[in-house]
Amino acid sequence: MEQWIRQCRLTVQINKDQPQALDLSEFRIVFHVAQPTTEQPKYAEIYIYNMSHKTMNTLAGENSQNKDTQVILEVGYKSGPLETLFRGTSFQFRKGRDNQTDTWLCILAQCADTVKSAAVVNNSLPAGTSLNDMQQFILQQYSSYGIDIGETPQLAEQRYPRGRVFFGSLDRHANQFYKDNNTSCSVDDDTFNAIPLGKYSVIPMLSLNKENGMIGMPRLTSEGVQVTSLINPKFKRNGRIQIDLSNLQTESYDVQYGQQGVDQPFKNQNLATNAQGTFIIVSVEHYGDMRGDECYSTLICVGVDTVVPKSGLLISGVDDNGT
């Protein structure tokens, strides 16, 4: 794919109870899309510039009181189709300005916000229920909240000797079930996926080098390999990527008293990477100004069949400085 002449389409539902939506693609759009940790929902912060007050109020309400409307952000290049970068629901609108002439409407949105915060389950399954039956029950609950079902694993044929009771947060029960089965689950762009720990998605592997979008040089940190590229909606969590490591930069080991050697395996190129340069994407962060110069994706990845970090984005968020 030739990565030139960026394009995007932003569609925002007017009212959560009605299907009508506005296409805001002709405005200047600045966005930041990220997922801080594996246990928090993916979010988007989107600024739309210089709309009329009438259009702002149509989307946000007179007092910015509207929320729970669907937000879809698609990005691509002239040489190919637009692909979904973010799909979720709004939870806050803000109005403001940069200067005397440039006004903006900011949309804060999350994926599966309702499921994370309000979805509950109240049911029981009989003795003899298999792990796969349990998984199907959980998936049905997510589907009932409008969540699409993506990749899920085939679990063991083990059966529970006693009945199981589900009461309370659906998200909490699902996370505990998959954690007990060495699997990570998440909802990205309103699609539920569950991938066994250390495994990867079945989507085709991508490659990244200076010829197809890599910006700067990849950097090996204690959280994984961090690499930046021209914005690419094909980068997905748990997907595989082959990175050109010919200019890999490494960081210093921690020399604080009592910490010597703790982070060395994760910053050691021989242990944290492999000869093929194949990695699993554990975090994707997108930033774009569709009428500016900056438009890129930042990835943090862990090597296939290598030392896997036990901290950082696998369980908790880090910023650009790796802290």
**What tens digit of pLDDT does each residue of 305-321 get?**
998 776 554 444 333 33
22 has pLDDT over 60: yes
Cα→Cα distances 215→272, 286, 299, 302, Å: 21, 13, 11, 19
pLDDT at residue 142, as a whole number: 93
Mean pLDDT over each residue of the chain, to the nearest integer = 89
Lowest average pLDDT, out of 142-156, 219-233, 305-319, goes to 305-319
Does the pLDDT of residue 226 top 80, yes or no? yes
Predicted pLDDT at 77: 94
What pLDDT is attached to residue 312?
Answer: 53
Residue 118 pLDDT class (50, 70, 90 cuts): confident
Answer yes or no: is pLDDT of 322 > 90.
no
The Cα–Cα gap between 318 and 315 comes to 10
* Alpha helices (runs of H) in the chain, residue ranges in sequence order: 53-60, 113-118, 131-144, 170-180, 264-267, 269-272
Q: Is 253 exposed, middle or buried (0-12, 13-18, 19+ CB in 10 A)?
A: middle
Per-residue pLDDT for 97 more than 70? yes
Residue 310, pLDDT score: 60
Is residue 88 within 8 Å of 42, Cβ to Cβ? yes
To the nearest 5 percent, what fractions of the chain are helix, strand and coil?
A: 15, 40, 45
Rounded Cα distance, 264 and 121, in Å: 44
Residue 323: predicted pLDDT: 36
Q: Which of 230, 295, 291, 236 is nearest to 25 (CA)?
A: 291
Which pLDDT score is estimated for 216?
Answer: 96
Q: Read off the pLDDT of each residue in 24-47 and give the average, rounded to a whole number.
A: 88
In the chain, what percentage of residues exceed pLDDT 70? Answer: 94
4 compared with 317, residue with greater pLDDT: 4
Confidence band of 37 (pLDDT split at 50, 70, 90): low
Interval 153-157 mean pLDDT:
90
Residue 116 has pLDDT above 80, yes or no: no
- For residue 199, CA distances in Å to 35, 41, 184, 234, 279 come to 20, 21, 10, 18, 10
Per the CB < 8 A criterion, the answer to whether 98 and 124 are in contact is no
State the Cα–Cα distance between residues 70 and 186, nearest whole angstrom: 19
Instruction: pLDDT band for 180, please (50, 70, 90 cuts).
Output: very high
- The more confident residue out of 1 and 234 is 234
pLDDT band for 39, please (50, 70, 90 cuts): low
Q: What was the pLDDT predicted at 321?
A: 39
Q: How far apart are CA 236 and CA 86, in angstroms?
A: 11
